[in-house]
Amino acid sequence: MLSLKNISKYYQAGGNKTYVLNNVSLDVDAGEFVSIMGPSGSGKSTLLNIIGMLDEPSEGYHYFMKEAVHQLKEKARSALYKEYIGFVFQAYHLIDELTVYENIETPLIYQNIKSSERKALVADMLDRFQIVGKKDLFPAQLSGGQQQLVGIARALITKPRVILADEPTGNLNSKQGEEIMELFRKLNKEDKVTIIQVTHSEKNAEYGTRIINVLDGKIDSSRNV
Amino acid sequence: MIKNYFKIAWRNLTRNKVSSIINISGLAIGLACVLFIGLYVNDELSYDRFFKDTNRLYRVNLDGKMGNEEFLLGHTPPPVGAALKNNFSEIESYTRIFRPGNEIVYFENNGQKKSLTEKNLLAVDANFLQLLSYPLVAGNVNTCLNGVNSVVLTQKAAKKYFGDASPMGKTLVLDEYSKPFTVTAVLKDLPTQSSLQFDMLQSTESIPPVKRFNWSWVWLQMGTYVKLKPNVASDAAGIKRLESKFPAMVSQQAASAFNRIGQPWAEFIKKGGHWDLHLQPITELHLHSSNVGTRYFNPGDIKYVYIFSAIALFIILLACINFMNLSTAQSARRAKEVGIRKVLGSGRKQLIGQFMAEAFLYCLFAAVIALLIVSLALPAFNQLSEKTLNIGALFGFKAIAGIMGLIVITAILAGSYPAFFLTSLKPVSILKGSGIFKDANGFVMRNALVIFQFTVSTVLIICTIIVYKQLNFTQTKDLGFNKENVLIVENAERLGQSAESMRQELLRLPQVLNATISTGIPTQNKFADTYIPELEPGNTKSGENNILLSSFVVDEAFAPTLNLSMLSGRNFSTAFADSASVVINESAARQIGWKNPIGKTMTYPGGNNRQFKVVGVVKDFNVESLHDVVAPFALFYKTSKTYGSPTSYITVRIKPGDYAATIAAIQSKWKTFMPDNPFEYSFLDAEFDSLYRADQTIGKVFSVFTFLSLTVACLGLLGLAIYTAQRRTKEIGIRKVLGASIENVVTMLSKDFLKLVIIACVLAFPIAWYAMNKWLQDFAYRTPVSWWVFSLAAGITLVIALFTISFQSVKAALTNPIKSLHNE
Ligand SMILES: Nc1ncnc2c1ncn2[C@@H]1O[C@H](COP(=O)(O)OP(=O)(O)OP(=O)(O)O)[C@@H](O)[C@H]1O
Ligand SMILES: [Mg+2]
């Protein structure tokens, strides 16, 4: 499904390079559910961003669905993730000017889906996350946990083949967190959606089929569950 | 998708009320200015385009040099029209015009005998209305001007003389003619976009001097218009070729006339003289003939069309800059949206579309408001610009297309920078971490734009101050005489022999300090001709020794009445026989080269070579506006009979105070001499003022647009100040907790903006200095461009900017720190 070969990411800080990712190689097959763990600042989000093509590595090769991402132009890259990837952010990143309903609807607009169809899909999603009552509120009017739910709903609405989630349950209570994990597991099992999540919780990591430990910009260990 | 764009745009517009109001009102002011100036410019450009076959109509100009004098005139000698038509098949027809003086018109209205002075009379050839097709409401265009005693009135004039009764066939008696004139046609009131303006037409056949000078090629009092054949008019090269054939024709036709005035043609040419005819399209007369002398109309000036267009462009640019600045200032917030949208699959094009839709929406609102402003303020603008612009002009097909175009262009101008700037950001740089995003480029760009805005505003302020300073200068400069409290009684020539008795009667009035009879007064009716001065011994100046002298014929009371000051010699006096005396001004003495002018003589070849002896030199005084240098000037005594003048004036110096009573007293004296003649008067200072009408209009229009541009710039500054204060609320809160005083905070917030405004002032100085020096070139006498003007302008700009900013800074500084920290 995707493959990183000798990926490095560094920042130039006063003459010397600070490596955030150092010579990382990683292969993820279709249908895997990968949990990435590691201490804060170890480079987990950076790794996820590179996988999701939001960030470019300083060095290395990156293949996604057999396409050489490192050779693609921005337009082609955005076409790729538009088609295959759903993103859940650590900091939610909802659009402040849009209501809950519209935030969830937006990816569908960019996929040129008809308005009647969009309505049905969004209604479905609101139901599934039990936020129908909140659909006309703006992000500022929601709690952190509710915003996170909207962010997840928005990522799932396009039925992506790959979900990249950066601490999707960080702001949820443990019950909500479990529900999301169950949902992820179901998507992974039944719909064969590939999932890569970053998490600090050992328990949530166990939902995955593989757990990767990142330490100081390197993959420290990788084990199948 | 489009619908979605507008939904989001609308949401943004209503959510950020302050910046929306600032953006929309700025754009509305900008667009309103463009619409006003557009109407003005459109009006200026549409002069003389309503005639049938306008593009085939040309005026004949004369580019001449005789002796030392060179001139370019919209006047020609009388035979030019016929000579052109007879010699060149390219010319289909010609017509001529002549401006007679004022006439007293006697008429009967409702059985009552009345009289009025007609000041707007034009004498024209019989075919005038066939070439210049001013529309008729009654009468026959082909025959109405045939008879010697026919007149054609405009509707306005017909109403003036005959009220609502039909004027056709009625008669008017003109003072100078014994036979009454019959009204043969009525013209629709002339469009304001006609260069020529007149109320009454009579035939040139009835004008004695026109007939008398029919032979002359040097009597330059007639306007000649020609109509070219269609195939010639459409071919610029053909017209050039036609003009190149003129000189041969002129030398052949004009030779005998030149001989007759003692200037054999060959010799005239040899001395460097020339007498060239040119054709100028009638459509260019209004805007492109300010260098061509004419007494038929006051041309406009293309320069002001350019200046106003530039101002319109700058103001709309300032408003667009507000939009750019406020959008990019809010880019931290907008950037997050852009980043998320990109991750959610939006292409760059779609994002650009979204930002442009937003700009377009703003412009649309602004345009609606601008149209409202224009329709409400048009009467005021008309008064200001002395135009009769019509709001209807904005609703033609072309105008609507133009306005739509304007909206789109403005939207592109305002929206493209934010659109391209924001959408070029990489999502990861925006979304990483908490989404805080630094925009260093945007900061620099914003500062540059603010500087630009205030530079433009400061330049305009300086220009306005200097225009007014110059206008004030024209009113207060020492003109060499005292123009205050001087009343002019016009039409004094009608008094004939009794003028002097009238003057004596006036002197007896207690309110009258002095009175004089003269053929001309400053601003009016000078007569220019060539004289040959005697050479001072030892002066071996070679070459032509003529001098062109303008002059009045006056009595001994002229100099004291106007308070002219004699530099040497004496004024005319009844104690001497002054019929062969002349008083000259300093400039004349200087130009002739006389070190000691008193006692010198000069010969007048135009007046039987009579000799005049200089008895006095008067300090230079301005006979014309300060646009012109004081020319060599002479005063002749009333008994000299050097030349005849059809007009004369009684000029009265009166005591200040109750002018109405004084005027009434003078009028009653006039009535005892001239019971049937209207009493017409004016004040000398008002006459001088009227010479600067155009300049005053420019001044007023300038100050209004300056005010508007400053408003727009300040709106932008206000927006940025609000935004900065908002962004720094947390910082301000922390600083206050740490002990910063309100002054510290206000200074911190205001300092950066004031720096920009100061830079703008410094940039504005050289630009304004250059522009104003150029403008002042139009005046021979000009106010200095003093340093205080620049300090004043800078002061005004700074104070207004400071006020705008501090309003917001103080508010931010006063906010309770706990509150702002809590909210973060
Ligand atoms: N623009 C940048 N310049 C320099 N260093 C950066 C920049 N962006 C990120 N880093 C560094 O890269 C490292 C990895 O960041 P990353 O966000 O990937 O960590 P993380 O593992 O996701 O941490 P957390 O668990 O706290 O989310 C951090 O040490 C951070 O300081
Ligand atoms: Mg992270």
- Residue-wise pLDDT for B493-504, tens only, equals 888 889 999 999
Secondary structure of chain A: what % helix, strand, coil (to 5)? 40, 30, 30
Residues B673 and B568 in one domain: yes
pLDDT for B179 beyond 60: yes
pLDDT digits (tens, 9 = 90+) for A59-77: 999 999 888 988 888 778 7
At B739, the pLDDT band (50, 70, 90 cuts) reads low
Residue at B315 is within a domain: yes
Q: DSSP string spanning B200-264?
A: EEEEGGG-HHHHHTTT-SS---BEEEEEE-HHHHT-HHHHHHHHHTHHHHHHHHHHHHHHHTT--
Please tell me the distance between residue B432's alpha carbon and the centre of ligand 1 in angstroms. Answer: 9
pLDDT for B545 beyond 50: yes
Mutation pick for ligand 1 pocket among A37, A42, A49, A198 (CB with most ligand atoms within 8 Å)? A42
pLDDT for B172 beyond 80: yes
* The pLDDT value given to residue B132: 94
Contact predicate B715/B22, CB 8 Å: yes
pLDDT for B385 beyond 50: yes
Residues B336 and B390 in one domain: yes
What's the total number of domains in chain B?
4
Residues B422 and B382 in one domain: yes
At B60, the pLDDT band (50, 70, 90 cuts) reads very high
At B235, the pLDDT band (50, 70, 90 cuts) reads confident
Residues B343 and B410 in one domain: yes
Residues B580 and B628 in one domain: yes
CB of A62 shorter than 6 A to ligand 1:
no
Lowest-confidence region among B88-97, B526-535, B644-653, B788-797: B526-535
CB of A12 shorter than 6 A to ligand 1:
no
* The pLDDT value given to residue B104: 84
pLDDT digits (tens, 9 = 90+) for A86-96: 888 877 788 87
Residue at B685 is within a domain: no
Burial label for B596, CB within 10 Å (0-12, 13-18, 19+), is: exposed
Residues B273 and B411 in one domain: no
Residue of B nearest to A109 (CA): B1
pLDDT digits (tens, 9 = 90+) for A159-181: 999 999 998 888 788 888 888 89
Last residue of a domain, one of B170, B204, B238: B204
For residue A107, give the nearest of B344, B348, B433 by CB distance: B344
Residues B136 and B76 in one domain: no
Q: Which residue has the higher pLDDT, A185 or B258?
A: A185
Residues B183 and B267 in one domain: no
pLDDT for B417 beyond 90: no
* The pLDDT value given to residue B823: 44
What average pLDDT does range B200-221 have in this prediction? 87
Residues B320 and B413 in one domain: yes
pLDDT digits (tens, 9 = 90+) for B701-721: 888 888 888 888 888 888 888
Residues B276 and B308 in one domain: no
Chain-centre distance for alpha carbon B23: 34
Residues B223 and B309 in one domain: no
Last residue of a domain, one of B189, B204, B219: B204
Residues B166 and B276 in one domain: no
Ligand 1, atom 29, lies closest to the CA of A41
Is the pTM here over 0.80, yes or no? no
**Rounded distance, CA B202 to CA B664, Å?**
34
At B817, the pLDDT band (50, 70, 90 cuts) reads low
Residue at B227 is within a domain: yes
CB of A180 shorter than 6 A to ligand 1:
no
In angstroms, the Cα distances linking B782 to A163, B281, B697 are 78, 34, 18
* The pLDDT value given to residue B140: 92
At B749, the pLDDT band (50, 70, 90 cuts) reads confident
What is the value of ipTM here, to two decimals?
0.75
Helices B246-260 and B236-244: angle between axes, nearest 10 degrees: 30
Q: In order of start, what are the domains of chain A with their CATH numbers? A: 2-224 (3.40.50.300)
Q: Domain limits at B212?
A: 48-97+207-285
Last residue of a domain, one of B230, B256, B285: B285
User: Positive or negative, the Cα torsion across B247, B251, B252, B257?
Assistant: positive
Residue at B481 is within a domain: no
At B69, the pLDDT band (50, 70, 90 cuts) reads confident
* The pLDDT value given to residue B821: 52
B12 vs A contacts (CB less than 8 Å): 97
What lies within 8 Å, CB to CB, of B493 at 6+ separation is B499, B645, B646, B647, B648
Residue at B293 is within a domain: no
Residue at B395 is within a domain: yes
Q: Which residue has the higher pLDDT, B686 or A55?
A: B686
Q: Which ligand is nearest to the CA of A37?
A: 1
Residue at B169 is within a domain: yes
**Rounded distance, CA A178 to CA A201, Å?**
11
pLDDT for B66 beyond 90: no
Contact between A97 and B337 using a beta-carbon 8 Å cutoff: yes
Q: DSSP string spanning B312-358?
A: HHHHHHHHHHHHHHHHHHTHHHHHHHHHHHHHTT--HHHHHHHHHHH
Phi, psi for residue A22 in degrees, rounded to 5: -125, 105
Which atom, in ligand 1's list, is nearest to the CA of A38?
Answer: 21
Ligand 1, atom 12, lies closest to the CA of A20
